Amino acid sequence: MGQAYKKNYQVIPYGRHWIDEEDIRAVVDVLRSDWLTTGPNVSEFEKVVADYVGAEYAVAVNSGTAALHAAMHAAGVGPGDEVILSPMTFAATANCIVFQGATPVFADVEPDTLLVNPAEVASKVTERTKAIIAVDYAGQPCNYYALRKIAKRHDLILVADACHSIGAQLNGRNVGTLADLSVFSFHPVKQMTTGEGGMVVTDRLEFARSIQRFRNHGIATDHHQRLAKGTWLYEMLDLGYNYRITDIQCALGKSQLRKLPGWLKRRREIAGYYDQAFDRIFGLNRLNTRPEVTHAYHLYVLQVDSTKLEIDRDTILKKLRSRGIGANVHYIPAYLHPFYKQHYGTKPGLCAEAESAFKKVISLPIFPQLTDNDLNFVVSSLNKILVDYGKQEKGY
């Protein structure tokens, strides 16, 4: 009942990587090779990810944040521009817009999915709007059909923040093929990991080339290209960054990707277990999954209805953690961070649905190593907390 995790952690975490001997061998092989960075494993990893999602091009970088920043650069976002995004996201989604000197414009979410509401996006478009960033919250793809119509109508670039949703589908189409640019994260709590790392996938060659320069200081050629031409000469065309990823990370990524389908299957099984359990527990509302979606379940999110339970989300969170269950909260609306309030004048009331959800959401542990006993421990512990408050029947 979760005891295996308590031996190594104070709590069962909400997310956890899985590294096996195959992964370790792949990394050790790179450490024994001639290339630790910018070698063959980088392009090989890019190819297998592009093939997996069905995109023409993939460019690997050293974090999901770097991938978001690179996508904004490729989209031509700059000073004076506005980019519309969801507030229910990690700060990096908004920060990447600020990095380019542009202004983030927050559009509210749908209350049942916490995905950005296309009608809200449409209402935020101005003459200064350059792009839309759609956030696949928890691993469910946004309504890209509606968002594409808005983007096409106003000649905007559509970017998928797919950092939660590798392996998800919308009407049978893979995430990675639904927007002009799609961004993945390979942080250890995600569905697969490179330690730290990110990727941008696209079908447009000009975007891919722009990102390749951007990750390498804005330099027009890499050392492989210069070697092939027999020249040392390099030129910096753009202001870029050192966002390169290592061969060590990419070897791990290639090994992890081979196991991703099985891990996604287990995540969906865990979500199904939770769904059945929480449908029987009063006052806990799970998010809606649209029928046309195949969910990737980076997160499993409940909304606590404190008006029915007379116990608030933070009290439940504290009591779960006291029982060794590492529940978490995703997310404080990005515009409520002190930086955005100070520099952009944002304040409560901007996105009512996102703010309401923030007070209710709780993310439960979901990762492939969880056993059925672990899941029963999570569910029964949550039920016991509610029983203690007199708002639930015993005997779950």
Active-site residues, by number, are: 190
CA separation for the pair 170, 290 (Å, rounded): 9
CB-based contact 253:358 (threshold 8 Å): no
Rounded distance, CA 248 to CA 17, Å? 17
Q: Which two tokens stand for residue 317?
A: 């969170």
- Residue positions counted in the chain: 396
Q: Tell me the CA distances in angstroms from 175 to 110, 223, 276, one per residue in order.
A: 20, 32, 27
Gap between the Cα atoms of 81 and 103, Å rounded: 6
List of residues 6+ apart from 366 with CB closer than 8 A: 14, 15, 267, 270, 271, 274, 297, 298, 299, 300
Token pair of 180, please?
A: 């002009």
The three state secondary structure string of 319-384 is HHHHCCECCECCCCCHHHCHHHHHHHCCCCCCCHHHHHHHCCEEEECCCCCCCHHHHHHHHHHHHH
Reading the block at residue 217, the tokens are 């200081």
Provide the β-strand partners of residue 200. Answer: 59, 183
Is residue 385 within 8 Å of 327, Cβ to Cβ? no
Ramachandran category for residue 111: left, alpha or beta (phi over 0 → left; psi -120 to 50 → alpha): alpha
DSSP secondary structure letters along 6-25: HTTSSSB-S------HHHHH
